[in-house]
Structure 1
Amino acid sequence: MKENKIAFITCVNNEDSYKKSLSYIKKLKVPEGIEIEIIAIRNAKCITSAYNEAMQKSDAKYKVYLHQDVYIQNINFIRDILNIFKADQNIGLIGMAGAKIMPVSGIWWEDHCKVGKVYDSHSGTMKLLTFNEINDLYTEVKGIDGLIIITQYDLPWRDDIFDGWHFYDLSQSVEFLRKGFKVVVPNQHTAWCIHDCGYVNTTNGFEESRNKFLDNYSKDIFPLVSILIPAYNQTNYLEQALDSALNQSYRNTEIIICDDSTTSDVQILVEQYMLKNNNIKYINNGGPSGLKGQINIRKCFAASSGEYISYLLHDDLYNSNKIDKMINYFLYDDTLSLITSYRKMININGEYLMDNFRTVCQYPYDTRLTGDEAGRKILFSMINYIGELTTAMFRRKTVDFDIINYDKYKIYCLSDISLWLKLLRKGNMIYISEPLSKFRIHDAQNTFDNTLTSWASIDFFNMIISSYENKVFIKNRKELLESLMSWYKEYAGDFIKFSNQYNNSSKNNAEIIKLRDEYINCYTKFINILLE
């Protein structure tokens, strides 16, 4: 390999464009001692095979892979790229434009943090495309555009995957990143290159190549998302739920199923899926773990390793783009701890039911809320507008292991709301207006346990008191009283109803007694606060 040699490599099928490209190369200032090599590959079946052929032919350390319609107008181009490579031996690729953050679509130019400059005619008119500015000599990126790619190390182009004309550039970017090299875009005072490409065809094999790119590289460029399914004694809805998790357009997921079942039906079903899918982990708990599924929810979390967590209750469904939409927000905002969305209600047959969730939320478009705003909205309205566990996704590092209880207070029913409030203490929230999940209503749900409304009243009261004690969401006595009065209006009737049922009931089991005692404690504390 010749250390002072640069090869300019082009895949050619238009001689006029190539001739013009060569005329610009010949005008470049060549530093003393540097040797130039020109390689043209004609009649290539695809760009990756052409570049591999040229790479094998050349003994130049530095290689400039450029389109035949790219014209280098920076006459100091050679000096400038050599200075960048000499600044850091770990730099593997240089490009003129690229993505700082790779969008979940895999399409680099959809990154609103993209950097670089180039004169380009893809819209039909030649104009300067200038993205976010670079202040240093260069900036690191996740992927670059293939109009021009400059290397100082040889890595094979993936012609075993990409046999067309799209996504070879992002593939090569990730291949270099895999090897520990840096991919960079230089600081250009004036755009170094003109790309006279004309209208870009994104229909001829574009989607096929995009899916190949995502299939092969998602685990390299996107964070792992854990989809957690606490299962119990049913397979019909579970099968549909599992299918919706596996059919996510987002590729980098693990699916954790923790099974509280008293039968083997769930295990038999899941093991059939595991024969075809290597991202499913199944844990048999040997029967009900207790606390009406809360311990199983904890077990799912403990078994997971994803940077982001998304629960999927075994009778609910995800839309295919749920993870994609939510992760794309997380990628661009480190202050977010929680993302939720509108969700639709369905019956046992998957048919949509009417609900007032949209009216309650009042967010007709994607909305960002501070953690404080979002938490206060729950505690002053007594409404879980964020949704059930299936609805949201959260950042793992913003919650401790105990994802159920709220500070020192035990949560009996509203584990989802307790979790949302704890997350909102640590960060902000996005509400997505598009329905991204489906919440199934059926007779076997805990929702139809008559004692749950009573436990929900107790949970809400304790979350209000704890928030006030810790001066989060509820900051002073006036706000405490306001929140408690909302609680009283929402649940006073339930307390009276429960008291009558208890007095008239022949049952005297431990749960009812405990529920009565908790009610008495809450209302005694409520009265004392009012009298202070």
Structure 2
Amino acid sequence: MITQYDISWRDDLFREEGFYSIAQCIEFKRNYYSVVVAGQKKSWVLCSDKQMVFTIEEKDKFLDEYSKDIYPLVSVLIPTYNRPKYFEIALKSVLMQTYRNIEIIIGDDSSNDDTQAIVKKYKKKYPNILYKKNNRRCSTVTERSYMNYSDVLHRSSGEYINYLNDDDVFEAEKIAKMMDYYLQYPNVSLVTSYRKLIDDNDRVIFDEKIMTLYPRWEVEKDTLLRGEIALKNLIMKINFIGEPTTALVRRCDIDNNFGTFSDKSFNCINDLPQWIQSLKKGDLIYIKEPLSSLRVHSKQKTKELFTQLFFKIDYFYIYLLSYKEKLISKNDFYSVMKFWQKIADISPEMLQSLKQESKDNRHNEEILNEFLALKDKVKYITNEIIE
């Protein structure tokens, strides 16, 4: 090294030479000086052949001191509502991450102070936790969830974003392994992984019936998939990428709110539209190792009847917009519309039950009416395509 200005070496941190030079370079940058690595064709210096040795203690000291200088900030966003037990498990899984430059943004919609008490306990030790108790009134569960998802995003500062549903769990290496791929491959716009399914008591689920409800892609090795190929499979087949917890996304690929696709926000589904939005910008990395766990339990909102209708409505618009943006062909669009007809098919008894439930609830009545209108529209669309 040759320097133009004098800055003290960090001998308060290091005793060996393993991290001396790189630490000194960062110290120069901290003091607003430029650091240049010369691109010489021939070697300028001959060094004795010896192996550089450093201790784990020194490595930890280096990372503790300089991680924020050398690694992009990742925002982990946790919207939560009345799940203090699961929430604490989720929060601990973020605090255990090996990646050193993380901020944790929590939006608490809970009707009690149980979650707030948990956060208060951890904030004493972890200043990177940013917490907000929301005191707002929403007419529906869907509206509340949407507002909380948006709020935590707009309070964050990270270059990369990973949502963590308050009942899901991260593996300790999740963010580090995903960021490694982003730093290696500038053309990658989405990184995800295989995920485990767990029950109420953190036990891994192997029930075939349950597993078929949550499609996963099993690969022999970490796989790079071109964006257009990943998009086609995502739209035409299954959401093999996973839920919001599973994938790490670039902030620059989020269009105002997470899950906005073609300028449209969706009622229940926000993962699939965001994956499509991200993959329009680049390629996909799929990691074979399960780096997160999806909790499947009885209190999930997806089990509600009108929520299921909302899911079907969202899927219709995802398919329609994919066709309008020319992500799928006319024949592909016909195929997904025929598929939508199948999943939208409900029995007369079920329809009667839905009508009965919506009598005293204007919001549910609007959902049902939109769903029935779309069923008629799909009949027209499929007939028009055939002709």
TM (norm. structure 1) is 0.66
Change (3 A) 1:266 1:360: closer
Matched with 2:170 is 318
Alpha-carbon RMSD: 2.2
C-alpha distance in 2, partners of 1:411/1:500?
A: 28
Q: Kindly provide the amino acid, as one letter, of the partner of residue 212 in structure 1.
A: K
Matched with 1:209 is 58
Deviation at 1:380, TM superposition (A): 0.5
- For structure 1, list consecutive stretches of 5 or more residues without a partner in the other structure: 1-148
Show the 5 A alignment for 1:107-122. none
Deviation at 1:364, TM superposition (A): 2.6
CA contact (8 A) 1:340 1:432 kept: yes
Deviation at 1:356, TM superposition (A): 5.5
Matched with 1:396 is 251
Q: Looking at CA atoms only, which structure, 1 or 2, has the larger radius of gyration?
A: 1
CA contact (8 A) 1:357 1:385 kept: no
C-alpha distance in 2, partners of 1:335/1:464?
A: 26
Matched with 1:158 is 10
Deviation at 1:300, TM superposition (A): 0.7
C-alpha distance in 1, partners of 2:281/2:310?
A: 26
CA contact (8 A) 1:229 1:257 kept: yes
C-alpha distance in 1, partners of 2:100/2:131?
A: 19
Q: Kindly provide the amino acid, as one letter, of the partner of residue 529 in structure 1.
A: I
Matched with 1:387 is 242
Matched with 1:426 is 281
Show the 5 A alignment for 1:494-513. 495-497=345-347, 499-504=348-353, 506-507=356-357, 508=359, 509-513=361-365
Q: Kindly provide the amino acid, as one letter, of the partner of residue 247 in structure 1.
A: M
Deviation at 1:368, TM superposition (A): 1.9
Matched with 1:84 is none
Change (3 A) 1:169 1:351: same
Matched with 1:87 is none
C-alpha distance in 2, partners of 1:406/1:337?
A: 15
Show the 5 A alignment for 1:261-276. 261-276=110-125
CA contact (8 A) 2:243 2:271 kept: yes
**1:361 equivalenced with 2:233 (yes/no):** no
**1:435 equivalenced with 2:287 (yes/no):** no
C-alpha distance in 2, partners of 1:417/1:398?
A: 14
Matched with 2:97 is 248
User: Aligned with 2:245: secondary structure?
Assistant: coil
Show the 5 A alignment for 1:452-471. 452-471=307-326
Change (3 A) 1:153 1:409: closer
CA contact (8 A) 1:342 1:358 kept: no
Once the two structures are overlaid, the 10-residue window that deviates more, 346-355 or 185-194, is 185-194
**1:480 equivalenced with 2:336 (yes/no):** no
C-alpha distance in 2, partners of 1:357/1:156?
A: 59
Q: Kindly provide the amino acid, as one letter, of the partner of residue 292 in structure 2.
A: S
Q: Kindly provide the amino acid, as one letter, of the partner of residue 187 in structure 1.
A: G
Higher helix share: 2
Change (3 A) 1:352 1:179: same
Change (3 A) 1:186 1:302: closer
Q: Kindly provide the amino acid, as one letter, of the partner of residue 515 in structure 1.
A: I
Change (3 A) 1:407 1:155: same
- For structure 2, list consecutive stretches of 5 or more residues without a partner in the other structure: none
Show the 5 A alignment for 1:19-58. none
CA contact (8 A) 1:262 1:287 kept: no
Deviation per residue, 1:12-60 (Å, 9 max, x gap)? xxxxxxxxxxxxxxxxxxxxxxxxxxxxxxxxxxxxxxxxxxxxxxxxx
The ranges of structure 1 where at least 4 consecutive aligned residues each deviate by more than 4 angstroms after the TM superposition are 287-291, 356-360
Deviation per residue, 1:480-512 (Å, 9 max, x gap)? 1122233334x04xx324x42231463223344
C-alpha distance in 2, partners of 1:410/1:522?
A: 17
Deviation at 1:409, TM superposition (A): 4.9
Higher strand share: 1
Change (3 A) 1:303 1:359: closer
C-alpha distance in 2, partners of 1:443/1:396?
A: 32
Q: Kindly provide the amino acid, as one letter, of the partner of residue 203 in structure 2.
A: E
C-alpha distance in 2, partners of 1:340/1:170?
A: 31
C-alpha distance in 1, partners of 2:64/2:340?
A: 49
Number of matched pairs: 374
Q: Kindly provide the amino acid, as one letter, of the partner of residue 279 in structure 1.
A: N
Show the 5 A alignment for 1:278-289. 278-287=127-136, 289=138
Structure of greater relative contact order (alpha carbons < 8 Å, 6+ residues apart): 2
CA contact (8 A) 1:317 1:437 kept: yes
CA contact (8 A) 1:316 1:390 kept: yes
User: Quick one: percent identity of the two aligned structures?
Assistant: 38
Alignment equivalent of 1:448, drawn from 294, 303, 321: 303
Q: Kindly provide the amino acid, as one letter, of the partner of residue 152 in structure 2.
A: C
Matched with 1:374 is 230
CA contact (8 A) 1:157 1:172 kept: yes
Matched with 1:60 is none
User: Aligned with 1:503: secondary structure?
Assistant: helix
Q: Kindly provide the amino acid, as one letter, of the partner of residue 257 in structure 2.
A: D
Change (3 A) 1:370 1:184: same
Deviation at 1:322, TM superposition (A): 0.8
**1:330 equivalenced with 2:182 (yes/no):** yes
TM (norm. structure 2) is 0.90
Change (3 A) 1:423 1:188: closer
C-alpha distance in 2, partners of 1:154/1:254?
A: 33
C-alpha distance in 1, partners of 2:120/2:151?
A: 19
User: Aligned with 1:150: secondary structure?
Assistant: coil
C-alpha distance in 1, partners of 2:137/2:83?
A: 13
**1:295 equivalenced with 2:295 (yes/no):** no
C-alpha distance in 2, partners of 1:170/1:240?
A: 36
C-alpha distance in 2, partners of 1:299/1:253?
A: 18
Alignment equivalent of 1:521, drawn from 350, 373, 379: 373
CA contact (8 A) 1:259 1:287 kept: no
Deviation at 1:192, TM superposition (A): 2.9
